[in-house]
Structure 1
Amino acid sequence: MRPTPRPSDFAAECRTAVAAAEAAGALLRARFPDGFAARPKGALGDVVTDLDLLAETMVVDRIRADYPHDRVLAEESGDSGGEGGPGRGRTWLVDPLDGSNNVVIGLPVYVVGIALCVEGAPVVGVVHDPVTGRTWSARRGAGARGPAGPLAPAPRPPSPAGPLLAWTQGHAVRRDDPAVRVLRHALELRSRRLLQLWAPLVAWAMLARGDIDGFVGYRAEAIDLPAGALLAREAGVVLRGLDGAEFTAGFTGPDTDRSFVAGRPEILPALLDLVSAATPRPAGPPHSRTTPRTTS
Structure 2
Amino acid sequence: MTAPDIDSLADLVRTTARETLLPRFCSVRCEWKADGSAITEADLACDQALRDALATRWPGIGLLSEEMPEAERAALLDQPGNRFWVIDPLDGTNNYANGIPFFCTSVALVEGDRIVLGVVYDPVRDECFAAAAGAGARLNGGPLQPARETPSLNKALLLCNPDRLAPELRRRLLDPEPPYGSLRNFGALALEWCWTALGRGHVYFHARQNLWDYAAGWLVLNESGGRATQFDGQPLPARAANPCTALASRSPALHEALRRHLGLPGRQPQADR
What's the TM-score once normalised by structure 1's chain length? Answer: 0.79
Percent identity for Structure 1 against Structure 2: 26
Aligned positions, number: 266
Deviation at 1:149, TM superposition (A): 1.0
- Shift of the 97–235 alpha-carbon distance from structure 1 to 2, 3 Å rule, reads same
User: Are 1:250 and 2:241 counterparts?
Assistant: no
What are the within-5 Å matches in structure 2 for residues 217-236 of structure 1? 217-236=206-225
Deviation at 1:160, TM superposition (A): 7.5
The equivalent residue for 1:64 is 55
Deviation at 1:205, TM superposition (A): 1.2
Residue identity in the other structure for 1:18: A
Q: Secondary structure at the match of 1:20?
A: helix
Q: Is the CA contact (8 Å cut-off) linking 1:166 and 1:215 kept in structure 2?
A: yes
The equivalent residue for 1:261 is 247
- Shift of the 53–220 alpha-carbon distance from structure 1 to 2, 3 Å rule, reads same
- Shift of the 43–117 alpha-carbon distance from structure 1 to 2, 3 Å rule, reads closer
User: Are 1:100 and 2:93 counterparts?
Assistant: yes
User: Are 1:33 and 2:26 counterparts?
Assistant: yes
Larger Rg computed on CA atoms: 1
What are the within-5 Å matches in structure 2 for residues 1-296 of structure 1? 12-26=4-18, 27-34=20-27, 36-44=28-36, 46-78=37-69, 79=72, 89-147=82-140, 149-153=142-146, 156=149, 158-159=151-152, 161-168=154-161, 177-186=166-175, 189-243=178-232, 245-255=233-243, 258-263=244-249, 264-276=251-263, 289-292=266-269
| Cα distance in 2 between the residues matched to 1:219 and 1:234 | 23
Q: Is there any run of 5+ residues in structure 2 with no aligned partner, and where?
A: none
Deviation at 1:121, TM superposition (A): 2.1
| Cα distance in 1 between the residues matched to 2:40 and 2:67 | 10
| Cα distance in 1 between the residues matched to 2:177 and 2:190 | 21
| Cα distance in 2 between the residues matched to 1:187 and 1:69 | 53
What do residues 38-72 of structure 1 show as CA deviations (whole Å, max 9, x unaligned)? 2112253x210000000111111111112221110
What do residues 203-254 of structure 1 show as CA deviations (whole Å, max 9, x unaligned)? 11111111121101213122121111000110111112323x3413424243
Q: Is the CA contact (8 Å cut-off) linking 1:70 and 1:83 kept in structure 2?
A: no
Deviation at 1:97, TM superposition (A): 0.4
RMSD: 3.1
- Shift of the 292–197 alpha-carbon distance from structure 1 to 2, 3 Å rule, reads same
Deviation at 1:197, TM superposition (A): 1.6
